[in-house]
Structure 1
């Protein structure tokens, strides 16, 4: 049965009841994801930003004050702010990459799928170490954190005390090496 409480009521109730926020999330997550997908042109980025939007909403729910406009407008305001920050961060990363002369590595979907399938298959018998053991330690840690443990790039960057762009580069290069090894195995 659908919860009949308004968004304002759900946000107020969520201060003491986590399930109330879960209802608010389920009510708006798809709309936020679609909105961010349209703005970013990238599903992965949109999904990461959507998670950040709801994390921000959860963290800021104590400061939320009901207004004439619906709570959904507040939520989309958070989305717009995070999108703007993401774009600024992306521009800085592109500028840094250009200064350093580091090209962006682009993968085709089938290359990513092959690498992920290989990693997934190998983790079943836990020979994952055999797959990633030839990677430099930084790439190995980044690939494991991102692909196996499905952690966000910014979280990995904070943990490793490096930039998000560097983590993305390490994951990309690690996957490229793994994918290259796959192509050799297929011959």
Structure 2
């Protein structure tokens, strides 16, 4: 078994069906990013934590359908988080069915981590995007916030779809690094 922390997100997801520890590593890499994303959009840390748990349960349940050519794994994961958030808003509650189905409990965090999640939610998107190169920030805004498709993004940026994907991927990687190493 390879050292999992050195594998790309895409490789971790590819290995998950036969090597569950690969998903554990994927989860550890992206837990803070997903929590931050959801905390920024919810009324409380508790709701963000429940939605994050649902997000990772859904990701694990659909990992066989993920295809690297569809975009970066982190964008796929944030898409799942967004779907869970919108669905919970529509229904007015956080679903528990998926977690029960897989035997996953509520994501338990100690008080110190809850406070960190709250502080992550207080950071503005623009504050985070200011750390990126202009083209990467533009790509993240268009793809993640405005939800443009990659062909639409490429047209807007006047580049190929592959180059647009690279801008998004590099931007997300930089944001992940910022969030992971931030001392909030």
TM-score with structure 1 length normalisation? 0.48
Compare relative contact order (CA 8 Å, sep 6+) and give the higher one, 1 or 2: 2
Asked which structure has the greater CA Rg, the reply is: 1
